[in-house]
Amino acid sequence: MKTNTNRKLLLCSYSQTKLHDLTAKTGLDYDQKTNGLIYIYRSNETFNEAKDKLNLLSSLDDKMELLDTSELITIEPALEPTQSKLSGGIYCKTDESGNCFKFTTKLSNLCQKMNVTFNHDETISRFETKGDEIQKVITNKNEYSADIYVMALGSYSGLFAKQIGDYLPVYPVKGYSITMPIFDVSKAPLHGGIDEDNMLAFSLIGECIRFTSIAEIAGYNTGFKPSDFSYMVNLAGSLFPDAFDFSKIEYWAGLRPMTPNGSPIFGNGTMKNLFYNSGHGHLGWTMACGSAKITADLITGRKPKISLEGMLLN
């Protein structure tokens, strides 16, 4: 557990540095909030477990604060109505949140100005290979040839890797989210965070808030009905009473590309001109910028800045 935790922490920290480099260079605005995240514990048992886990993260000693209930309320006043149901929390002042849709949209616009082409509504069907190289990618609309290919297909990477003889242990785990307007700013949280006992994460997105939760093994099914979200809606309302407009909920369900040890997969498999960048699970955006730099380094033969032990396919 300690090895996996520190491995992911190293990548997340490196990725945050690369994200800061990107935003400093481009001025990207994506409703980012840099005032830290709070981790909320409702029971003494889970709070004590959290204290034990903190001992595994020695590199975060100066970044994470253990808080009793009164200290938690001081940092996050919106929790005052529910303080009798809480045991304590952790505040990580270096954690951040933002609007991932706005981030990717603006980033794609910047890429297009650098002559990058995005082909939407197009589906990969198969690969043409010769020896240990991919020759072509065949889609429902076209054929593409390149010197180097990168597979970053999320939960579908394992299916396509199998076509070329690689076993990529990436599996879809279904997650759900609700997004709604903030009804009363004075009762809404100032920070993003996680209700750890219920695995309910929340982040502020402009004038809205998003809650995400649930890990469901459902294959590649992304369907849903409003009743699937009742658990999340009730939790959100109980955590921050009278703060949100539940009459305007946007529902969503999607797939997280999980690996057995929770770490992503980089590098080559059987094809020397194909590089993997997949399996980031629920930390896809957190790890994105660092993973992109690692992939670029591997392609160009540079040594990545962090250890990739346990994260290479071969």
Round to whole Å and give the CA distance between 264 and 283: 9
76: its two tokens: 């996050």
**Phi then psi for 240, rounded to 5 degrees?**
-130, 80
DSSP state of 42: -
Closest CA to 106 of 26, 179, 34: 26
Domain ranges of the chain: 37-94+172-258
Residue 307 three-state SS? coil
- Asked if pLDDT for residue 102 goes beyond 80, the answer is yes
- Asked if pLDDT for residue 61 goes beyond 90, the answer is no
Mean pLDDT of the region 149-172: 97
Confidence of residue 226 (pLDDT cuts 50, 70, 90): very high
pLDDT in tens, 255-281: 999 999 999 999 999 999 999 999 999
CA angle 253, 256, 258 (to 5 degrees): 155
Residue 174 three-state SS? strand
Class of domain 37-94+172-258: alpha beta
- Asked if pLDDT for residue 6 goes beyond 90, the answer is no
- Asked if pLDDT for residue 298 goes beyond 60, the answer is yes
Round to whole Å and give the CA distance between 245 and 29: 25
Confidence of residue 129 (pLDDT cuts 50, 70, 90): very high
